[in-house]
């Protein structure tokens, strides 16, 4: 393997904020309505066996946080007990203390790991748990204040509750090694990627080039790239407290390379990428509302916090002026077009939504920039319990510094495996 090899990475480095967008509104935007909602059970089963993922995550957390320490020479056990509970969002950026973890990620940890020990066959959101329950569960493992947790948009101030969400994760982060120093355990964490010499799709590439010296073998056909050091502390009753996570400098540099184009490409994992279009004015109005939710997930705009809560799904109403301005910044559309969405409430002059639906995984194959025009070629896929859907696609943007607008999108024929 030569230094600087460019390789394909499937599902690698989902931005923490982007991941939250996938978790924050569980449901399907297409065809969702208050009179005929999709049953929660169907939604979970459609998310690539999300229910089974929930059970395994809950088991992983309980085995590591409420029981005796695991054998640190057993790397899989260390991964399951200490690394997996954080998901793949909290390990994409450094934090010197738990209070530096993005607040929505903390609340998501509570839902993903079922910290409230709700029965596996019961919807975590029925009813919404009290603020005291959620805060106590998280404070058992993270030194954070209730005031900080309540800055999350998932917190309902009026009801004094949280609305929890769960989402399936590929969990590419794994433990590489672990050492104990007193009551603290330092865990070297790595990101697993396909071995380019053993994957079938050898011609597919991603923009990021990694030095081969940074890789180590992992399993039969994967490599692991050291990403940082996770520190946890065992209290007197062997409860795990998450102390800090320090990213390696090399990892941070590589993530910056991916971030350059990823923020453009990931928008098509949602409804903007459902079909070919060469004029944004022809996009479905519902897709434009979902795009705003995606922007909230990236951190470009903030999800409304002090707005009324929609009665059925429990999500905040989104003021029309804010949503429309954010969408029109990147797409040549009008308020009138967006307001044709089924999610527009004319009386409130605001939008509601039941969720973002199933999202795709995006692999950037190549990028070509001529002047201000950027062309991204991508390979997308959706993995479910029944099949894997794959398709090639291409997006064209106008980029001017930090500003950008989507011009067109071409989606080729989908194959089913």
Pick from 234, 212, 224: nearest CA to 82 = 234
Q: Which of 256, 285, 313 is the last residue of a domain?
A: 256
Strand, coil or helix: 127: coil
Start-to-end CA distance of the chain, whole Å, equals 30
Pairing relation of β-strands 388-400 and 373-383? antiparallel
Looking at the structure, do residues 153 and 28 belong to the same domain, yes or no? Answer: yes
Decide if 26 is inside a domain.
yes
Same-domain check for residues 132 and 48: yes
Instruction: Give the count of domains, the chain.
Output: 4
Residue 98 within a domain: yes
Q: Are 63 and 126 part of one and the same domain? A: yes
Instruction: Give 126-164 pLDDT, tens digit per residue.
Output: 688 999 999 999 999 999 999 999 999 889 999 999 988
Looking at residue 166, what is its pLDDT?
67
Is residue 50 domain-shared with residue 150, that is, in the same domain? yes
Helices 320-328 and 285-298, interaxial angle, to 10°?
90
Same domain assignment for residues 247 and 113: no
Q: Looking at the structure, do residues 370 and 412 belong to the same domain, yes or no?
A: yes
Q: Is 287 left (phi over 0), alpha (psi -120 to 50) or beta?
A: alpha
Spatial contact of 232 and 183, defined as CB atoms under 8 Å apart? no
DSSP letter for each residue of 375-414: EEEEEEEEE-SS-EEEEEEEEEEEEETTEEEEEEEEE---
Measured distance CA(119)–CA(121) in Å, rounded: 5
Angle, alpha carbons 261-267-272 (nearest 5°):
135
pLDDT for 398 equals 97
Q: Is 251 helix (H, G, I), strand (E, B) or coil?
A: helix
Does residue 385 form part of some domain? yes
Q: What CATH number is given to the structural domain containing 401?
A: 3.10.450.630
pLDDT greater at residue 9 or residue 344: 344
Report yes or no on 147 lying in a domain: yes
- The answer to whether position 142 is within a domain reads yes
Q: Among residues 310, 328, 351, which one ends one of the domains? A: 351
Residue 5 forms part of a structural domain: no
Element (H, E) at 233: strand 222-234
pTM of this prediction?
A: 0.55
Q: Decide if 36 is inside a domain.
A: yes
244 and 321 share one domain: no
Please, is 87 exposed, middle or buried when counting C-beta atoms within 10 Å of its C-beta (0-12, 13-18, 19+)?
buried
> Does 168 reside within a domain?
no
Contact present, 209 and 24 (Cβ < 8 Å)? no
What confidence score (pLDDT) does residue 70 get?
86
Q: Could you tell me if 71 and 103 lie in one domain?
A: yes
Asked whether residue 383 falls in the same domain as residue 329, the answer is no
Confidence of residue 371 (pLDDT cuts 50, 70, 90): very high
Percent of the chain with pLDDT over 70: 71
Q: List pLDDT tens digits, range 105-131.
A: 999 899 888 898 887 655 555 688 999
- Do residue 345 and residue 370 come from a single domain? no
Highest-scoring range by mean pLDDT, 21-25, 189-193, 261-265: 261-265
**pLDDT of res. 139:** 96
Domain C-terminal end among 162, 186, 215: 162
Mean pLDDT (the chain) is: 76
Closest residue by Cα to residue 108 from 18, 24, 12: 24
* Among 40-44, 125-129, 243-247, 386-390, the range of highest mean pLDDT: 243-247
Shared domain for 233 and 293, answered yes or no, is no
47 and 128 share one domain:
yes
Expressed as residue numbers, the domain containing 188 is 173-256
């Amino acid at each position: 393997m030569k230094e600087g090899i460019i390789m394909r990475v499937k599902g690698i480095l989902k931005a923490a904020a982007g991941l939250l967008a996938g978790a924050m509104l569980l449901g399907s935007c297409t065809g969702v309505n208050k009179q005929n909602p999709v049953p929660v059970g169907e939604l979970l089963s459609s998310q690539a066996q999300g229910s089974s993922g929930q059970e395994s995550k809950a088991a992983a957390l309980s085995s590591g946080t409420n029981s005796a320490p695991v054998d640190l020479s057993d790397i899989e056990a260390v991964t399951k007990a200490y690394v997996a509970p954080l998901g793949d969002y909290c390990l994409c950026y450094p934090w010197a203390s738990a209070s530096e973890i993005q607040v929505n990620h903390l609340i998501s940890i509570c839902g993903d790991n079922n910290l409230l020990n709700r029965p596996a066959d019961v919807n975590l959101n029925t009813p919404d748990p009290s603020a005291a329950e959620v805060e106590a569960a998280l404070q058992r493992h993270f030194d954070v204040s209730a005031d900080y947790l309540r800055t999350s948009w998932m917190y309902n101030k009026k009801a004094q509750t949280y609305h929890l969400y769960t989402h399936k994760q590929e969990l590419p982060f794994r433990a590489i090694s672990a050492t104990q120093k007193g009551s603290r355990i330092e865990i070297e964490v790595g990101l697993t990627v396909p071995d380019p010499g053993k994957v079938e799709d050898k011609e597919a590439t991603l923009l990021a080039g990694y030095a081969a010296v940074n890789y180590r073998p992992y399993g039969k056909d994967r490599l692991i790239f050291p990403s940082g050091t996770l520190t946890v502390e065992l209290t007197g009753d062997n409860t795990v407290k998450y102390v800090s996570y320090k990213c390696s400098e090399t990892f941070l540099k590589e993530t910056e390379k991916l971030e350059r184009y990823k923020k453009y490409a990931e928008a098509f994992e949602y409804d903007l990428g459902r079909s070919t279009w060469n004029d944004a004015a022809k996009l479905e109005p519902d897709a434009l509302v979902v795009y705003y939710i995606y922007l909230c997930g990236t951190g470009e705009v903030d999800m409304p916090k002090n707005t009324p809560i929609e009665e059925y799904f429990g999500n905040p109403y989104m003021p029309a002026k804010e949503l429309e301005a954010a969408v029109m910044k990147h797409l040549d559309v009008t308020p009138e077009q967006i307001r044709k969405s089924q999610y527009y409430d004319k009386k409130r002059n605001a939008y509601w939504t039941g969720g973002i639906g199933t999202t795709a995984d995006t692999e950037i194959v190549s990028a070509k920039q001529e002047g201000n025009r950027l062309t991204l070629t991508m390979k997308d896929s959706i993995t479910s319990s029944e099949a894997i859907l794959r398709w090639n696609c291409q997006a064209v943007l106008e980029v001017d510094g930090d500003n950008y607008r989507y011009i067109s999108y071409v989606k080729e024929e989908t194959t089913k495996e």
